[in-house]
Amino acid sequence: MLTDVGGTGEPIVLLHGLMGSGRTWGRQVPWLRAFGQVYVVDAEGHRGARESRAVPTTDDFVDDLVDVLGDVGPATVIGHSMGGLHGWCLAARRPDLVRALVVEDMAPDFRGLTSAGWAASIEAWPQPFPDADAVRSWFGDVAGRYFLDSFERRDDGWWLHGDVATFRAIADEWGRRDFWSEWTSVRAPVLLIEAGHSVTPSGQMARMHALQPLSTHVVVAGAGHLVHDDRPEDYRRIVTDFLRAR
């Protein structure tokens, strides 16, 4: 689902990470409006999007992006984690739709890894969380904001906004398939933002930069996976410099 969140000029499309939502970009949208017309996408299987296919794949997500970007025209695509992967796969398939690309803390190759332990930990969450303070207490301030932006609020408290099996299926594909060929096919200017405490395999984002002549690679020291919320001033400065240099 594509939502217009304001601004004027060339389109900027924001893609959230796994278990997120378009609302996780809320603290960045105000300053991004100075650079263009801003849109957020809610990915399939997440709150606000259409009912998920049984086993959504990266190719399915890219199909959706081709559909929605066809409505807004060539865009600067900014993606966090899963959204970064979808952004570069879109740029590889349809270079006419992507003017420039920002990839935040995502790599092409997680093969051999499994989401089993991660999925089990999600299923052990004490749902429903009775209030926002309980969410922040469980996840910490940064991740807590991310989930408060995404969770479904019901009469009895805060609930995960999608099916664990769907989220696991999305992540498990990354453990079976790499996306190097898609990455090396990108021809748009790219900004790679790597967290100092990255979830990506060591050295992969540096290798992405080495393989992509139109890329810039920045490591944000001390930042966690949610760089845009963990180090918002650094994130804004880095992305602003990239957008102004285009």
Question: Sign (positive/negative) of CA torsion 228, 230, 236, 237?
Answer: negative
Alpha carbons 239 and 92: distance in angstroms, whole number: 21
Band of pLDDT at residue 57, cut at 50, 70 and 90 = very high
Instruction: Please give the model's pTM, rounded to 2 decimal places.
Output: 0.95
Beta strands 37-41 and 2-6 are: antiparallel
Q: For the chain, give the number of residues.
A: 246
Tokens coding 53: 């296919």
Residues 121-137 have a mean pLDDT of 95
Alpha carbons 129 and 89: distance in angstroms, whole number: 35
Helix (H) or strand (E) holding 158: strand 157-159
CA gyration radius, the chain: 17
- Give the C-alpha distances (Å, rounded to integers) separating 215 from 1, 36, 187, 198: 29, 21, 10, 19
pLDDT confidence of residue 53: 54
Residues 171-217: tens digit of each pLDDT: 999 999 999 999 999 999 999 999 999 999 999 999 999 999 899 99
pLDDT confidence of residue 50: 46
Alpha carbons 226 and 207: distance in angstroms, whole number: 21
What angle in degrees, to the nearest 10, is found between the helix axes of 58-72 and 82-93? 70
Residues 216-233: tens digit of each pLDDT: 999 999 999 999 999 999
pLDDT confidence of residue 49: 46
Strand partners, 153: 158
Contact assessment for residue 59 and residue 83, using Cβ atoms and an 8 Å cutoff: no
The DSSP 8-state label assigned to residue 53 in this structure reads P
Alpha carbons 79 and 76: distance in angstroms, whole number: 10
Tokens coding 67: 């559909």
Residues 40-48 have a mean pLDDT of 80
Which has the closest alpha carbon to 217: 206, 232, 230, 233? 206
Tokens coding 232: 């918002």
